[in-house]
Structure formats: C-alpha cells, structure tokens
Amino acid sequence: MVKQSAGNVESARIGDQVRQLLKCPNQPSPAFSQWTHYYQSLAHLNGLSRGDAQINHHAVSEMILQAWSAAWLARNNLASGVSGYGESDWLRAMFRKHRKGFSYLEHIIVNYAFLGNNFQIVEVLEKVRQYPVEDLHSQIQTGKDEDQGLSIDQEDWLHHLKSYLPKQARVVSPALYARLYRRHRDWLQGVNSRRHIDGHVLRRIGRLNWGERDREYLDMLLQCAKLMKSDQAGPRRSRAYYLRMIGSKSTIEKNLHRMPLSQKFLVTHSESVEQYQIRRLKNAYRALRKQFDVPPRWRLLRAANLSEERLADSAKKYLEELEI
C-alpha cells in the first residue's frame, strides 16, 4: 500500500474553487474586454494603479508572493510569470488588455491574493459579466486617434521609449509595435519622430539615472533568485539566464559598468558549469535515494544527464565524497 502524501493549504484553496466551477451550469465565458475592466479595476481599488492604464506590476507580484509560496508556484509552472518583469509574463499580461484567455489556476491565484479567504470564484465570474463588452471593430483606427486618453499599448510604448530608441523598442516588442501600427499609426509615427532632431537620433540613454536603474534591476534579480531557490530543477542559472528572466538583456549587458550593484549580484550568483553539474547530481541523488540506499554511479549519471567524459573535476570530487 502506498502512503498518500499529505495535502497542503494552497492546493486545498485551489480545490475549493474548482469544486465551485464544476457545479456551475454551462454558460458563455466573459469577453476579453470584460476581464480587462475587471482586473484593472481590481488593481485600482487596491491602490496599485496610476490613472487608467499604468499598473504597478512589481507590487502585484509582491501580493501574489505574500499569498502563495514560491515553492508551490514553481511546482505548478507559474513561478516565472510572477516575476512580473518579462514581456511574456502571464501575471503582467493579466493586468493589461486581454488578448487571450488565462487558466483557472492563474485566475484563482490572483483573485485569492487580492480578495483573501472570502474569495469565491463564482462571485468573481458574476462581477466580470457586469462590465460592458467593447466592440472590437470600433477600436481599430488607421487614421488620426480620436480618443483623448492613451491606450495600454500606447502607455507601454512610451515606457519603452524611456529606455530604448524607437528602432530598438520595435526589436524588443515587435507584437506591441505591430498592434500600434495597425490601430494608432499616426500617433506611433509622431512619438517616434519626436525622438529625432535635425535627422540625428536623440540619445536618451545618457540622461538616465543609472543609480536608480541599478537598484531597480537589483530588486528584480533578487526576486528571481528567490523564485529559483524554491525550485532546484531547471537550466543553468548563468548570467545570461538571469538577464533573460528580467528582460532588457541587451540594454543591461551594454551598461553593466554603470550598475555596480547588479554587476556584483551577477558575479556572485551566476552558476558555473561545474556548479550546474553538481546541482544536477544532487537532484538525481535525492530522487534515487527513494529506490537505493547507495545509488549506482552509472544510474546517478544517467539521471543527471551527465557522462564520465563530460564530468568536471569538482563534480567528480562530489561523487567521491558520496563514496559512489
């Protein structure tokens, strides 16, 4: 008889909400525009937005990590999105304009963090349906913008232009550029042209407050390290890996000499090939100990996807200390 593993509080929370969903009758899902209004309103009511469009994504991530452990998020393949710094992070996308659906897990995680123990998923669905449904065709503009306010995409593009030149911003976020070109073409060309004076590109990089930027990047890196610590699996935590996790990889690499705090973090925390091999061996050893008192060396190497030929000296020493 296999002993059943004890459940945890976080899985129990999910189970309660899923049972509610399973009891619901069949009904149409809320429109993307309704979800957009709901989550932006949720951020606004909790003091995490400025105006109608700018969301404090870092504060949102902090709320999620206060309600859900990093280890649980990592086990459910949700940890990378909670960093909130990459363009493709699901949590950041959830508080932007919705262009795709999100999983039941993602909805439950966010709403529990904001609403607490009294949160009921069926009540959230009812509230979302009360928001107006926008006509998608009326939003597409090829001429001059009529709206006085800026859309979320326009706000995002202006934020990009604080760090990048227009051409670089297009490379960093091609999908964002394409949406703006389709819907706000005149506005996009206007803001891009204002970055040029007498045919020469206005270099804004030198005007940045690099001390403040350094502290911001360090905060992102520490957040990533916290998430990685809870999950010992995954690829090598190299310098390039950390930079990909927080986005803006090329900008940071070119300006690391201006950011001593971030540079020191990367030197201290970047994982070498030897350290990566040892981590894989440790993970394999823990897994095989469930089957063997002393796992055979060949089986341990296979589980770690290593070979004698590729094994670094420090990894060989680790195996000798295990007496394998």
Q: Are 42 and 114 in contact (CB under 8 A)?
A: yes
Q: Is 140 helix (H, G, I), strand (E, B) or coil?
A: coil
CA distance 112 to 117: 7
How confident is the chain (324 residues) per 10-residue block, as mean pLDDT? 62 90 86 90 83 75 86 80 59 87 92 89 91 59 49 85 77 84 87 58 56 86 81 84 76 85 92 92 89 88 90 90 76
CA-closest candidate to residue 217, choices 238, 257, 240, 246: 246
List, in order, residues 6 or more apart from 259 with CB less than 8 Å away. Answer: 210, 213, 214, 217, 218, 252
d(CA 259, CA 252): 9
DSSP for residue 55: E
What is the predicted pLDDT for the residue at 174? 82
pLDDT at 281: 93
pLDDT at 108: 94
CA 74, 9, 2, 20 torsion-angle sign? negative
- Which pLDDT score, from 0 to 100, does residue 260 have? 93
Closest Cα to residue 152, out of 29, 37, 47, 31? 37
Query: Given this model, what pLDDT does residue 279 score?
Result: 92
Task: Please tell me the predicted confidence (pLDDT) of residue 143.
Answer: 38
| Residue from 41, 78, 82 nearest 60 by CA | 82
Q: Give, for 49, the enclosing helix (H) or strand (E).
A: strand 49-50
